[in-house]
Amino acid sequence: MILYYFFRKYGVRSSGTVFIFWFLKAFFGIIQMRTEAKLHQARDNPIGSGETIVFAEYQFVSFTLQYAFICLILLLEILPDQAPRYSDYPKQRNPNPELKSSFFVKLLYLYFDSFTWTGFRKPLTDDDMFDLNPEDTSRELVPPFDKYWYESVENGRRKQMA
């Protein structure tokens, strides 16, 4: 819950950490789900037979419900969250679809399919190209580069003078 709060606060639309958590929980839950189903089939007393409820029945029902919710949350993690309401960057004419993609879509590069099909159907023009991601623009990249560049130049000059 704390991660979700900070992701929403800072405009992270999809988290790889959270997606991998739910994916692994669902993936490794398959083993226990299979075991629970086999044990349930082997029991003499099926659920709802009117006799007293045994702990094994409770365990089967509770795990089945829990696993269903885990799978539902995993499916919801594939969908990206809403865009942040506030951004320091100006609106773009043709924004890159990677910005609004979920981690799963980024992992498989599914956001690039529409661009590929456009290039397959007709030659690409400048109007077909996506705008740069804000974090890939020179506005973001040049200041840190200059900082380290000037430090490196100064260190080189000091070594040259010595």
pLDDT at 74: 92
pLDDT at 10: 67
Confidence at 53, pLDDT banded by 50, 70, 90: low
pLDDT at 56: 78
pLDDT at 14: 72
Per residue in 123-132, pLDDT tens? 999 888 888 8
User: What's the pTM?
Assistant: 0.68
Q: Dmax of the chain from CA atoms?
A: 93
Task: Tell me the mean pLDDT in the region 11-17.
Answer: 73
Length of the chain, in residues: 162
Comparing 112 with 50, the larger pLDDT belongs to 112
User: Rounded to an integer, what distance in angstroms lies between the CA atom of residue 90 and that of residue 70?
Assistant: 38
Domain ranges of the chain: 2-78, 132-162
Among 35, 111, 22, which residue's Cα sits nearest to residue 69? 22
